[in-house]
Amino acid sequence: MSVHILNEEPVHVIPGSGLVLRARIEQGPLEEVSVVTWEREPETGIAPTSVTLATCPGESLECAGTTPNVRANVGQQETSLQIDGYSGADGGVYAVTVTDHTGATTTAHCIVREYEAVHHVSVSINVSHSSLVCGEAWGTEPHFSWLHERAAIATAVGKVSKDGTTLLVTMTPICGHFTCMVSNKLGYSSATYTAAPCEAEGGGTTAAVVCLALLLLFGGLLAFLLWRRHRHNNRGGSLHEPLEDSI
């Protein structure tokens, strides 16, 4: 007879939610399950003390949990344990032990830990490799993503590594704000590396266009003033001509 816990370990549980562990029991045709016991002990410590969580004795295999929030059951070649309202104190090494009708036992173990939020995100630069590295303290299942000037990383800016922790910067020179965002099921945190300000694209062209517009405006105004002066002079000459003819 053998028993195997089906959950991938370590199992991470969000505080307040439920923990469910499942195990498969493999037995021969002449073997019978007599007792199934679920236990827990601390993950670390010199002499960890084991605590019994649930026991399923006898042929009926009716399970009894040691606390109201603990339930266990045994089905066809399978057993499960459920803990409602998981807290940090429920973490540790869980063990399921199956005893057959001869008294022989077999045990499987699984590590259960609390699901941690993201903490202490930081960004450092590796100048020699033109890359930025994002770090995070101890969050569970962290997911990394990068922004440049609050926009997703474009190919002209750089390339993000497969695990998301490193940004290889290809733009020259390196400029602007690079933000690393780290998230998981409990939220996110971020950190920003600030390089020299980027020059605005097309800044020289814009200045040239403004100067040209001002020159055209000034030239048009000057042409208008000259035209107006010339017209005034012509009107003055026409007024003096009849007077000269009468004399």
Task: Work out the mean pLDDT of the chain and round it to a whole number.
Answer: 86
Domain membership of residue 215 (yes or no) is no
The least confident of 14-23, 39-48, 188-197, 198-207 is: 198-207
Structural domain including 145 reads 122-194
Q: Same structural domain for residues 12 and 102?
A: yes
| CA distances (Å), origin 104, targets 61, 97, 99, 107, 232 | 17, 10, 6, 10, 123
Q: Same structural domain for residues 129 and 91?
A: no
Q: What is the CATH number of the domain that holds 75?
A: 2.60.40.10
Q: Same structural domain for residues 56 and 139?
A: no
pLDDT at 203: 47
Structure letter (DSSP) for residue 226: H
* Per-residue pLDDT reduced to its tens digit, 73-100: 998 889 999 999 999 999 999 999 999 9
* Per-residue pLDDT reduced to its tens digit, 206-221: 555 555 656 666 666 6
* Whether 151 contacts 177, CB under 8 Å: no
Q: Same structural domain for residues 49 and 76?
A: yes
pLDDT at 246: 44
Query: Please, which pLDDT band fits residue 125 given cuts at 50, 70 and 90?
Result: very high
Q: Same structural domain for residues 11 and 41?
A: yes
Q: Same structural domain for residues 60 and 153?
A: no
- State how many domains the chain has: 2
